[in-house]
Each structure stands twice: as C-alpha cells, then as structure tokens.
C-alpha cells in the first residue's frame, strides 16, 4: 500500500498515536502558562474535551468515526459558539497542538500537513472580534 492510498489515521499510527497526541495536547494546556487563555475557555475539567477531540480526530483522519457515532455530525462551528474564540485562542490552540505533535513524534512533513488543515479550521472557529 502506498503512502498516498493510506488514510491519515494509518499514516499517523492509528488510535494509540492519536490518543497520545490528544493527551499531550491537554497536558500542555493544563501545565504551560502560555496556554492559560486557551485553558480558561475549557472550564474546570478537560476530560470531556479530551475525549471529544480524540473521537473527532479519529474519524477526521479516516479511522473509526467515533464522534459521529456518539454525538452526530460534528457541526464544529455551532458547537464552539458558546466559547469566545478570537485570534489569541486560535493561536494558542495551534501552538499547543504543534507542540503536542512534536512531543508525540509525528513526522515533520505530516505535522506541516496537519497544521495547515488545523489552521484553516481554527481560523474558521473564531467568533469574537480582536
């Protein structure tokens, strides 16, 4: 099977890699002062957000569509409307994810590819003026 015919889910390493990446993402958000604004948007516990991001990324990357099976269509923008998301929150989310992917050992080329997609989505999620 060529790289081009494999899903992102397969290329990244499947469930275990996505789980490790998402866990690291939320660990960094909890631990690193530079993500304080992003962390404050999430409420007292990160457990639900962690599980939902893992489920979403699994399906988005071509693996089991866990999020849709449990919660229906992601409707990302609608589901994020209750949270004030501006340029700072977007940038902190992207920086946190880039760091999590690097710490998880995601290949540089794949990280760049994913960050391009993540930027487009994160930018689209902005819902407050700066």
Chain segment 50-86, per-residue pLDDT in tens: 999 999 999 999 999 999 999 988 898 888 888 889 9
Contact 127, 81 (CB under 8 A): yes
Q: How far apart are CA 99 and CA 81, in angstroms?
A: 25
Q: Please tell me the predicted confidence (pLDDT) of residue 83.
A: 87
Global pTM value? 0.92
CB 25 within 8 A of CB 96: yes
Rounded CA Rg of the chain: 14
* CATH number for the domain harbouring residue 49: 1.10.490.10
pLDDT value at residue 76: 87
pLDDT tens for each residue of 17-63: 999 999 999 999 999 999 999 999 998 999 999 999 999 999 999 99
pLDDT for position 13: 97
Domain tally, the chain = 1
Range of the domain at 43: 8-125
């Amino acid at each position: 099977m060529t790289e081009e015919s494999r899903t992102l889910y397969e290329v990244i390493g499947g469930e275990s890699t996505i789980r490790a990446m998402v866990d690291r993402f939320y660990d960094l958000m909890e631990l690193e002062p530079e993500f304080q604004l992003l962390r404050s948007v999430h409420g007292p516990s990160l457990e639900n957000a962690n599980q939902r991001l893992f489920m979403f990324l699994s399906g988005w990357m071509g693996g089991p569509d866990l999020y849709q099976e449990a919660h229906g269509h992601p409707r990302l923008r609608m589901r994020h409307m209750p949270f004030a998301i501006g340029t700072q929150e977007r940038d902190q989310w992207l920086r946190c994810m880039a760091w999590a992917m690097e710490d998880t050992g995601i290949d540089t080329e794949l990280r760049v590819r994913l960050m391009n997609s993540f930027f487009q989505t994160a930018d689209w999620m902005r819902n407050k003026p700066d």
